Structure 1
Amino acid sequence: MTVVLVDVANMLGARPDGWWRDRAGATTRLLRRLAPLAGRLVRAPEGGTLLCRELVVVVEGAARDVRVPDGVTVVRARGSGDDALAARAAALAADDVAMLVVTADRGLRSRLPAGTPVTGPGWLYRVLPDAPA
């Protein structure tokens, strides 16, 4: 059982679909797609399966005040989303909670607790329930 901790800004930035014209709207759409993952078994990044016990998303800036669907835990960053995500990862690690961080941001990856498993947004897009086959 794993907490999947998502860098939403990085997820949006991974797909050049016009998200920058309406960051809050794009975030809302992404969170709706992510919500069904909570409590589901999915293919793990390195093979095998992973039970997404809890889905925690970090939102920032113009997306900070979006409505969050049931099944998603939100961290509303007052400042830097990277700071908020790194702090949440540190708290989970301190509580010995299994997690998987989703980000391609190398700077953020370097700030995570040692040994924290990390994967890029491509993995999460592939395991979404409405992902193309």
Structure 2
Amino acid sequence: MTTLLVDVANAVGSRPDGWWRDRAGATSRLLQQLAALPGRQLAGPDGEPVPVTALVAVVEGQARDVAAPAGLRLVRAPGSGDDALAETATDLADGDDDLLVVTADRGLRDRLPALTRVAGPGWLLAAADRAAEETGPAT
């Protein structure tokens, strides 16, 4: 059982799709995609199965006030998203589920609890794209 902890700003910024024109809108679209992941078994970044039991998404800045889709827990960073993510990772690492943090930020990775597994946003976005293909377009 795995909890995904997502650095949303990092994931949104990894695709050059015009997100900078509407950060909140790009964040909302990504969160809607990610809402399909809890309850699924994904192929992990190392190829091993990852049974996703929960997804926690850290939002910050202009995207802090986006609506939370059903099935996701949002952490609304009052300041630094990295600070909120590192603190949340520490809290989640004490739980029963495995923790997989999604970020490409090397400085943030250095702040995570020891033995925390990390994947890049490319892995997450590919998994979300596959989930969307399996479920079909949202209506």
TM-score (norm 2): 0.91
Output aligned runs, 1:37-56, within 5 Å.
Answer: 37-56=37-56
Identity of aligned residues (%): 61
- Give 5+ residue unaligned stretches, structure 1: none
Which residue of structure 1 aligns with residue 87 of structure 2? 87
Moved more, 52-61 or 122-131: 122-131
3-state SS of the aligned residue for 2:132? coil
Which residue of structure 2 aligns with residue 19 of structure 1? 19
Q: How many residues align?
A: 132
Which residue of structure 2 aligns with residue 32 of structure 1? 32
Inter-partner Cα distance in structure 1 for 2:115 and 2:60: 26
3-state SS of the aligned residue for 1:130? helix
Which residue of structure 1 aligns with residue 105 of structure 2? 105
Which residue of structure 2 aligns with residue 130 of structure 1? 132
Inter-partner Cα distance in structure 2 for 1:51 and 1:95: 16
Which residue of structure 2 aligns with residue 73 of structure 1? 73
For the Cα contact (< 8 Å) 2:36–2:132, is it kept in 1? no
Moved more, 43-52 or 89-98: 89-98
Inter-partner Cα distance in structure 1 for 2:51 and 2:94: 21
Inter-partner Cα distance in structure 2 for 1:40 and 1:94: 23
Q: In the TM superposition, what is the alpha-carbon distance from 1:39 to its structure 2 partner?
A: 1.0
- Give 5+ residue unaligned stretches, structure 2: 134-139
Q: In the TM superposition, what is the alpha-carbon distance from 1:50 to its structure 2 partner?
A: 0.7
Inter-partner Cα distance in structure 1 for 2:95 and 2:47: 26
> Runs ≥4 in structure 1, deviation > 4 angstroms?
none
Inter-partner Cα distance in structure 2 for 1:95 and 1:2: 10
RMSD: 1.3
3-state SS of the aligned residue for 2:36? helix
3-state SS of the aligned residue for 1:36? coil
Matched, 1:119 2:131: no
